[in-house]
Amino acid sequence: MKPKKNLVRDAKTLHHKSISSLKFSMSAFNSYEEEGRLTRVLLHAQHSTEMLLKCVLAQNKEKVFDDKSGLSLSFEKCLNLCTSKYSLTSGEAGSFRAIDALRDEEQHWFIVIDEALLFLQMRALVTAYDEFQKRSLCLSLSDLIPDRVLPVSTKLPGDFDLLVDKEYEKVSKLLRPGKRRRDEARARIRSMLAMEALVTDEVSTSKKDVDRIEKAIKGGDEFSAVFPRLSTINTSQAGEGPTLKVHFTKREGAAVHFVAGDEPGGAAAVREIDLQKKYWIGAKKLAETVGLTPPRALALRRELNIDKDESCSHTFSFGKSKHVQFSDNASRKMKEALAQGIDMEDVWARNRP
C-alpha cells in the first residue's frame, strides 16, 4: 500500500462520516439488543459505503452535486462513477449494491434475513470497503478500527449457495397450508431478491415479483429456476475469526430471460427495471472515461463490437430521436483492450469515422 494520502477538506469530512457509520453498523451487528438490530445494521452500513464513494469522488475533484437539480449524486450514480473511473471492482460494487438493496427494503417495508447470510453480507462489505479504500485513498481499516470489533458471529457462515438453498427450503415450509407465516415468508423472499444485487445492477423487489415468486415456490419449482441469478454466486473465504475476508464471485448459471413484473409466466426470469440505470454513459462521457477523443473512442467501439453487444450498449427511442447509451461493461472492455496494448493506429486505420 502506498503512503497515506492527505485528504482534501470535503473528502476528509465524508471519510469521517463513513468510518463513523461503519462503526455504528458494527456495534449494532454485535449488539445484545435484538430490537431494531437489522434496521440499524443496514442503515449505517449503506450510509458508510455511500460516504466512502463520495469521499473518493471528492478527493479526485469530481462533481458530487448534480448541475440541474443541485442535489448530491445518488448512490447508484456514485457507484457507477467509481466503477468506471476509480478502480472499484464489479465484486466490490456488488457487495455495496446488495447492502443498499437490503437497506432499501428494510427501510421502506420490512425483510427477514437469515443470520448466517447477514454475516456473510457484512463480512463481504467490510472486505470490499477495506480493499477499495486501500487502493483509492491509501488507508487501511486496521489503522482506523481494531480488528477485534469487526463483525463476528458464533455461527460459521458456510457457503453462499448452501445458505440460500436452505433459506429457499425454509420459505417453502413457511408457505405450506396451515402455517400462517406468509408475511415472514414474503419478507424472506424480498431479502433474496435484494441479494441479486451481488451480481447485477438490475434489481427489482416489486410486489408483483414477490407475488410471482411466492406462486412458483408454492407450485414446487426448484430454487435454480426461481432465482437463476442467485444460482450464479460463489463465495471465497480467507482467514478466520476477526480477520476473515469474504469475496463474492460469479459463475455461469442457468439461462434467464426478461419478463415484465405482471407477466403470468414462470418466475425463472430476470426482473425488468429502468434500463437507464444500467446504460447510463453517453458516447462523449465514455470517450472521456477511457481517455480517448470521441472519434478514436468510436473507432475502438467498432473494433470491439461494443455497439452490437447488448451487455454494453442500448438504443433508447424518444419519438423519432434515437440515443445510444453505454453500460460499465463497455468502458471495462475498452479499458482492458487499451491496457493489453491494442494498437490504436491500426484500429484507427480500420475503423475511423
4 lies in some domain:
no
**Domains in the chain, number:** 2
Q: Dihedrals φ, ψ of 248, to 5°?
A: -95, 135
Window from 143-152, 213-222, 327-336 with minimum mean pLDDT = 143-152
2 lies in some domain:
no
Q: Smallest Cα–Cα separation from 45: which of 94, 108, 103, 117?
A: 103
Instruction: Give per-residue pLDDT as tens, 29-41.
Output: 988 899 999 999 9
Question: What's the pLDDT at 229?
Answer: 82
Question: What's the pLDDT at 305?
Answer: 92
274 or 196, higher pLDDT: 196
226 lies in some domain:
yes
1 lies in some domain:
no
Domain that holds residue 282: 276-351
Window from 13-17, 156-160, 270-274 with minimum mean pLDDT = 270-274
Residues 281 and 269 both lie in one domain: no
Residues 223 and 326 both lie in one domain: no
Residues 65 and 174 both lie in one domain: yes
With 0-12 / 13-18 / 19 or more C-beta atoms within 10 angstroms meaning exposed / middle / buried, residue 129 is buried
Spatial separation of the C-alpha atoms in residues 244 and 325, rounded to whole Å: 40
Mean pLDDT of 208-219: 88
Residues 100 and 155 both lie in one domain: yes
Mean pLDDT of 210-230: 86
Residue 331 sits in a domain whose CATH number is 1.10.1660
Tell me the average pLDDT of the chain.
83
160 lies in some domain:
yes
Residues 257 and 187 both lie in one domain: yes
Spatial separation of the C-alpha atoms in residues 228 and 196, rounded to whole Å: 9
pLDDT tier at 5, thresholds 50, 70, 90: low
Instruction: Give per-residue pLDDT as tens, 47-106.
Output: 999 999 999 999 999 988 988 888 899 999 999 899 988 989 988 999 999 999 999 999
Q: Are 88 and 97 in contact (CB under 8 A)?
A: no
Residues 317 and 200 both lie in one domain: no
Q: Are 149 and 173 in contact (CB under 8 A)?
A: no
Residues 167 and 269 both lie in one domain: yes
Residues 266 and 283 both lie in one domain: no
Residues 322 and 219 both lie in one domain: no
128 lies in some domain:
yes
Residues 267 and 318 both lie in one domain: no
- Domain closes at, from 273, 299, 329: 273
Instruction: Give per-residue pLDDT as tens, 184-207.
Output: 999 999 888 888 877 777 666 788
Instruction: Give per-residue pLDDT as tens, 230-267.
Output: 877 777 676 655 556 677 666 654 444 444 444 444 45
pLDDT greater than 60 at residue 271 = no
149 lies in some domain:
yes
Spatial separation of the C-alpha atoms in residues 63 and 81, rounded to whole Å: 10
pLDDT tier at 270, thresholds 50, 70, 90: very low
Residues 267 and 295 both lie in one domain: no
187 lies in some domain:
yes
Grid cell listed for 224:
435454480
- Domain closes at, from 241, 273, 305: 273
Residues 89 and 232 both lie in one domain: yes
- Domain closes at, from 210, 239, 273: 273
